[in-house]
Amino acid sequence: MTRRYQRGARDLADEPRQVRKKYEVGARLRYLGPSDDVPPLFTTGDELIVCSRNRGGDGISARRADGVRDMVWPWEVGVLV
């Protein structure tokens, strides 16, 4: 199975599998909460879907089911199985 990662994301070749998974297009993530003083448009506990295009470099572009889209840091989310 071929995995497709966000276009525009940083190079993930040296990252562990659990980090790469967070950049897979269509992956489901749980927002755990903000890690700095610029929180995204999400609320702790929101379920997010990884978008096909990355707009944040090191961050992950994601959206909620209602279409709200923003960038989160990889350490601010967990992968839903």
Quote the pLDDT of residue 75. Answer: 95
Cα–Cα dist 65/58, whole Å: 23
pLDDT tens sequence across 4-52: 989 888 888 898 999 999 999 999 999 999 999 989 999 999 999 999 9
Quote the pLDDT of residue 11. Answer: 84
Which positions ≥6 away from 54 have C-beta within 8 Å?
6, 7, 8, 9, 23, 60, 61
